[in-house]
Amino acid sequence: MVDSPLIVDATIRSATRIKGAEAAGVAANAARFYVEGDVGTLVRGTGAIPARVGWLVDVPLDPRGRAPALKKQRVLAFARPVANRPDQIQLVAKDAQRAWSPAADALTRRIATAAASTDAPPVITGVKSAFYVPGSLPGEGETQIFLLTRGDRPAAVSVLRRPGEQPRWSIALSEVIDENATAPARDTLLWYRLACFLPRMLPDAATGALAESDAAHAREDYAFVIQQLGACRGTGAADAISGGGVPS
């Protein structure tokens, strides 16, 4: 959701539950509402929007099947404009409305600013290839994993193992592998793009040209990177920025 055209900080003024045909596709443990919210801040957007906008949102029910009280909630809505309806917005995903909190607001603004920067890290779309180079000592070696990105921008993960030391991984965003590159800090834009959009396992196609022993090292090192990144989900702020599920 970090690439949402609109990110709106709004307080819900009214909420009307939608039933029947207009609620088609709602999960069994959720309910659909049409809400109207008073816009406090347009966190992201290319132009002005009305002081009050409306949108549809699916919200989870509690264990007793009751919907939450939405009125007066302050939320962050990750959305897009609706053509010819300036007073309407459309959430970019079913879970693109998030409860506002100081932490979620600060994180959203920080990541949105980073995403709009001319030097923003690339959007990760998958893994291209991997190879492993053994070192001169037992237990020594390096795996390099080349990533697929939107716009074919360079991105490569390296994992270095030395005897008696903890493995060290890093990512380089240039054609030349930088020996001084480091792993991204948690809750940065690059961290989210790796943690949320790298596949959980190294694809077989990425190691198709390797001997099985080298492929095994590459898979082990890739798993280490995924473990070090951790899950992209887990907090409301992280969910809001990451934009949802992790590819399998």
pLDDT digits (tens, 9 = 90+) for 226-236: 999 998 854 44
Q: How many CA atoms lie within 13 A of 108 on its CB side?
A: 30
Instruction: Return the pLDDT at 242.
Output: 43
Residue 192's φ and ψ, nearest 5 degrees, are -60, -40
Q: Cα dihedral angle (220, 126, 240, 235), rounded to 10 degrees?
A: -10
So what's the pLDDT on residue 175?
81
pTM metric for this prediction: 0.77
126-130, 237-241, 244-248: segment of lowest average pLDDT: 244-248
How confident is the model at residue 246, as a pLDDT? 36
Strand 168-172 to 156-161 pairing: antiparallel
Determine the average pLDDT of the residues in 41-47: 89
Q: Is pLDDT at 97 greater than 80 in this prediction?
A: yes
pLDDT score recorded for residue 1:
67
Supply the pLDDT for residue 237.
42
**Cα 241 from Cα 248, distance rounded (Å):** 19
Q: Which residue has the tokens 């030097």?
A: 119
- Structure confidence at residue 40 (pLDDT): 96
Strand partners, 44: 7
- DSSP state, residue 38: E
Average pLDDT over residues 23-39: 95
Please report which residue ranges of the chain form alpha helices under DSSP H: 102-116, 189-197, 212-229, 236-242
- Please report the pLDDT score of residue 233 as a whole number: 56
User: Is pLDDT of 144 > 50?
Assistant: yes
Please check whether residue 184 is in contact with residue 171, taking contact to mean a CB–CB distance below 8 angstroms: yes
Please report the beta strands in the chain, taking only residues with DSSP state E, as ranges in sequence order.
6-18, 30-44, 52-60, 74-82, 85-91, 97-99, 124-134, 141-149, 156-161, 168-172
pLDDT at 163: 92
Percent of the chain with pLDDT over 70: 92
CB 123 within 8 A of CB 152: no
8 Å CB contact between 218 and 131: yes
Fill in the amino acid letter for 78: F
Average pLDDT over residues 100-129: 93
d(CA 223, CA 216): 11
CB 140 within 8 A of CB 163: yes
* Residue corresponding to tokens 């002081």: 51
Alpha helix segments (H runs only) across 133-188: none
Rounded Cα distance between 108 and 199, Å, is 24
Q: State the chain's maximal CA–CA distance in angstroms.
A: 68
If we measure between CA atoms, which residue out of 142, 171, 168 comes closest to residue 154?
Answer: 171
Percent of the chain at pLDDT above 90?
76
Per-residue pLDDT reduced to its tens digit, 162-206: 999 999 999 999 887 667 789 999 989 999 999 999 999 999 999
Number of Cβ within 10 Å of residue 196's Cβ equals 22
The residue ranking higher by pLDDT, 242 or 207, is 207
